[in-house]
Chain A
Amino acid sequence: MNMQKDLVWMPSWEQIKEDFPIFRNLGSGYTYLDSAATSQKPLSVINAISDFYLYHNSNVHRGIYRLSEEATEMYDRSRENVSRFIGSSDPRQIVFVRNATEALNLLSYTLGRELVRGDEILITIMEHHSNIVPWQFLQDRGIKLVYADIKPDGTLDLDDLQSKISPRTRIVSVTHVSNVLGTVNPVSEIGKIAHDNGSKFIVDGAQSVPHMPVDVEALGCDFMAFSGHKMLGPTGIGVLYGRKELLESMHPFMGGGEMISEVYMDHSTWADVPEKFEAGTPDIAGAIGLSAAVDYLRSIGMDNVMKHGRDLIRLTLEIEEEENIPGLVSYGPRDTEIRGPVYSFSIGDIPPFAINQALTDDGIGVGASIHPHDVASSLDASGIAVRSGHHCAMPLTHRLNTVATTRASYYIYNTEEDVRKLFSSLKRTAEVYSR
């Protein structure tokens, strides 16, 4: 018996990078640090999609012929695979949507119908716009949006959240991992607070499902939203997980084919879940691609994926301290146990315009900082892709007293070498701008 098998298996991250053809195609010097926006795709995912179109393409559910049954089976197997991956005990709890944004809009539309004037929705200041704007749509019906604050270390202020939950709080919707701070929120604990209050609990898993083991039933959430394209899958496919009895009691989202049982001239009846929420021909190839992505992640092991992310962010914070680039401020918790592989930073203050004006009036020149756009352009010139701006989290960006930050985010194909390259380029950029 091979005792090695009992040891913790660790993949070779350098070899993993070779599974992603884009890096070969872009040249070895290219450093992609924008996986929080979208991930690259392994060959197995690309092949699964092209295999579907080359050998199995037909529409699902309706056909009696063999090819359609084949496509239907592949689509259903994809659903089962995704369901297992996130610890859902029943594949009917998996609704295929376009992305996490659509999943949250679905919830705002359907759950929103049940709310009345004066009801409250509790979210946090660190939400992505996709977990803010859909709820704002309900405000014109007198439904109140309440925000829990963060602490100075970039973690969620649980006391503030607790104090803002009220008898009128019908929904608590929280991101699992912040796409700006990297903060991993204690969602089980928040779920308990929500459920003790009789509120429904939604988790935005867009930045967690790709990067760590997630078990929706152990977490105790009622709903979870996530996107396929951030977890090695194709764009255009995402998932809403919902507890079956809740999905069954909810009104449909979009109307059309596939989602009905029977249609009469004056009314219709709905298909069972999850089809009730999947109007029109779904993204069949996307679901199959997502399933291939799940297989790939499973082959590495989500514990290993999480560990790799933590190793990279730990190295990032270490090098940050060693290099001590003048004016560099980064955001988010320093404790890598509660930190996803996201690194947002500023170099110098980028004050809001009003403060800028006041400084000008006092004769103080404002130019000691390097704007995130300049940082991103400068890094791009060295073949490093990072994002700059508000990262679809304007309320959080303002809460951090800035207008924009630069963000590097890692995934399984990134290596320690990438982190070192980031900092050597940042150092050069800082030198050029300080001249």
Chain B
Amino acid sequence: MTDEEEKTEILMDHYRSPHNYGRIEGPTAQLLEYNPVCGDAVQMFVKLKGNIVEDVKFIGRGCSISQGSASMVTDLAKGKSVDEIMGITPQFLLDLIGLPLGPSREKCALLPLNTLQKCLSKLNRENVNR
């Protein structure tokens, strides 16, 4: 198996049997985002304990890249602090996926990370305002 085949298999596993799929009842924050070009959708639910992501789940609809990436992002985020998650760069996630995607499909791959970060930054703003 080549490296690319292996990376494809990992992503496809996440797509076929996504980790952390579903809703969180009474989440600290939630956010639904669309990719208007293709209609891909990801909704993130976050439960915080202090500044730590105790639990994160998603539901979504879309291609293997957007949904597989959502599964990977939730794995990545669990147990991390809000600051750590805000510090995850797009390139870090693309490297983790590790496939040559091209500009239009990179948008699919980054939708879940963008959604999670937006969701958390919204929360931060609300906390500051309070």
**Residues A403 and B15 in contact, CB atoms below 8 Å apart:** no
**A350 proximity list for chain B (CB < 8 A):** 39, 61
Whether A403 touches B59, Cβ cut-off 8 Å, given contacts A367-B15, A373-B108, is no
Q: Mark A399-435, 1 if CB is under 8 A from B, else 0.
A: 0000110000000000000000000000000001101
Out of A356, A361, A367, A377, name the residue touching B41 (CB < 8 Å): A356
Near B by CB (< 8 A), chain A positions 328-380 give: 350-351, 353, 356-357, 360-361, 365-367, 371-374, 377
Contacts of A357 in B (CB 8 A): 43, 59
A374 touches B63 (CB 8 A): yes
Residues of chain A lying within 8 A (CB to CB) of residue B37: 389
* Contact A353 to B61, CB < 8 A, known contacts A389-B37, A389-B38: yes
In the complex, residue of chain A having the shortest beta-carbon distance to the beta carbon of B101: A377
Q: How far is the CA of A390 from the CA of B34 in the complex (A)?
A: 14
Q: In the assembly, what is the distance between CA of A372 and CA of B40, in Å?
A: 11
Within 8 Å by CB of A351, from B38, B40, B61, lies B61
- Contact status B105-A356, CB under 8 Å: no
State A404–B40 Cα separation when bound (angstroms).
Answer: 9
Does B16 reach chain A (CB closer than 8 Å)?
yes
Q: How many chain-A residues does the 8 Å CB contact rule pick out?
A: 23
Contact flag A388-B59 (CB < 8 Å), given A374-B64, A377-B105: no
- Residues 45 to 79 of chain B near chain A (Cβ within 8 Å): 59-65, 67
With A389-B38, A390-B39, A404-B38 in contact, is A356–B65 under 8 Å at CB? no
Check if B22 is an interface residue, CB within 8 A of chain A.
Answer: yes
Q: Is B80 located at the chain interface by the 8 A CB criterion?
A: no
Say whether B59 contacts A373, CB under 8 Å: no
Q: Which residues of A contact B59 (CB under 8 A)?
A: 356-357, 360
Smallest beta-carbon distance B20→chain A, Å: 13
Checking B18, B23, B64 against A371 with a beta-carbon cut-off of 8 angstroms, the contacting residue is: B64
Q: Which of A367, A373, A403: most chain B CB closer than 10 A?
A: A373
- Taking the closest CB of chain A, its distance from the CB of B96, in whole angstroms, is 19
Partner of A366, one of B23, B61, B64: B61
Residues of A within 8 A of B62 (CB): 371, 373
Also in contact, A388 and B38, with CB within 8 A (given A350-B61, A353-B61, A374-B63): yes
- A360 CA to B37 CA in the complex, in Å? 23
- With A388-B38, A403-B38, A403-B39 already in contact, the answer to whether A371 and B63 are too (CB < 8 A) is yes
Query: Given that A360-B22, A367-B15 are contacting pairs, would A353 and B64 also be in contact in the complex, using a CB cutoff of 8 Å?
Result: no
Residue of B nearest to A377 (CB): B105
A326 nearest CB across to chain B (Å): 16
Q: How far is the CA of A333 from the CA of B40 in the complex (A)?
A: 28
Considering the chains assembled together, what is the distance between the CA atoms of A356 and B65 in angstroms?
18
Contact pattern, B 9-40, Cβ under 8 Å of A = 1, otherwise 0: 00010011010011100000000101001111
Name the distance in Å between A383's Cβ and chain B's nearest Cβ: 15
Q: How far is the CA of A389 from the CA of B105 in the complex (A)?
A: 12
Question: Distance in Å from the Cβ of A295 to the closest Cβ of chain B?
Answer: 36
The distance from the CB of B69 to the nearest CB of chain A, in whole angstroms, is 12
Closest chain A CB from B113 CB (angstroms): 18
Nearest A-chain residue to B22, judged by Cβ: A360
CB distance from A388 to the nearest CB of B (A): 7
Which residues of the partner chain B approach A353 to less than 8 Å between Cβ atoms?
32, 34, 39, 41, 61
Within the complex, the shortest CB–CB distance from B13 to chain A, in Å, comes to: 10
CA gap between A307 and B23 in the complex, in Å: 53
Q: A146 vs B34: C-alpha distance in the bound complex, in angstroms?
A: 28
Give the distance in Å from the alpha carbon of A373 to the alpha carbon of B15 in the complex: 14
What residues of chain B lie closer than 8 Å to A367, measured between beta carbons? 15-16, 18, 67
How far, in angstroms, from A366 to B17 measured CA to CA in the complex? 11
Q: Name 19 interchain pairs, CB-CB below 8 A, sorted by A.
A: A353-B32, A353-B61, A356-B61, A357-B59, A360-B59, A361-B23, A366-B61, A367-B15, A367-B16, A367-B67, A371-B38, A371-B40, A371-B63, A373-B108, A374-B65, A388-B38, A390-B39, A403-B39, A404-B38
Known: A357-B43, A365-B21. 16 other contacts (CB 8 A): A353-B39, A356-B61, A360-B21, A360-B59, A371-B38, A372-B38, A373-B38, A373-B40, A373-B63, A377-B63, A389-B37, A390-B39, A403-B38, A404-B39, A432-B12, A433-B64
Interfacial residues, chain A to chain B (CB-CB below 8 A): 350-351, 353, 356-357, 360-361, 365-367, 371-374, 377, 388-390, 403-404, 432-433, 435
